[in-house]
């Protein structure tokens, strides 16, 4: 228990002082073992301009067991399902997975960011999207961009753009 707490505190501190480019992460609410992360969609990807929110649960046996991550923001991707679950080898224990205690949350988030930029269609969670990615890339890219715009971009604009009512009340810009 102490090892998990101390390790997590070090990792969160590092994520705050030296975050990987395009990634932020912090504790969520009162539970020190639940974090929230945000990953910016990479330039040149269909996720460009989007901000994707993730939930991170730190298990009891961390770092001997991988953190549990899922996307809270909908994303159109062959390796991420509609519940936000992510198919990535370092999120699973050996022998099927590649998790090692030497890995950390920063590494995992960077790997997810890379997976967003370079999907692995040969190990899909979403077979239909995987087939589209492999055989009809333009359709995949259009759908991914559209979903990004709908769920990861408009959300930001809605928070920044004053509503008509707030402008009438004098609260707007």
By annotation, the residues acting in catalysis are 87
Q: What CA–CA distance (Å, rounded) separates 66 from 97?
A: 10
Cα-based distances in Å from 137 to 26, 52, 130, 141: 35, 22, 10, 6
* Cis preceding linkage at 159, omega within 30: no
Residue 17: φ, ψ to 5°: -85, -35
């Amino acid at each position: 228990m102490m090892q998990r707490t101390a390790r997590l505190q070090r990792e969160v501190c590092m994520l705050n002082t030296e975050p990987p480019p395009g990634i932020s992460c912090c504790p969520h609410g009162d539970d020190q073992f639940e974090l929230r992360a945000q990953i910016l969609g990479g330039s040149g990807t269909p996720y460009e301009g989007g901000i994707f929110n993730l939930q991170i649960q730190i298990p009891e046996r961390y770092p001997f067991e991988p953190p549990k991550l899922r996307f809270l923001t909908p994303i159109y991707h062959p390796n991420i399902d509609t519940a936000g679950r992510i198919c990535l080898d370092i999120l699973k224990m050996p022998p099927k997975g590649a998790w090692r205690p030497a890995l950390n949350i920063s590494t995992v988030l960077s790997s997810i960011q890379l997976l967003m930029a370079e999907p692995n269609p040969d190990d899909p969670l979403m077979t239909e999207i995987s087939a589209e990615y492999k055989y009809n890339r333009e359709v995949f890219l259009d759908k991914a961009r559209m979903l990004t715009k709908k769920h990861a971009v408009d959300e930001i604009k809605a928070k920044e753009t004053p509503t008509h009512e707030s402008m009438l009340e004098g609260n707007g810009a």
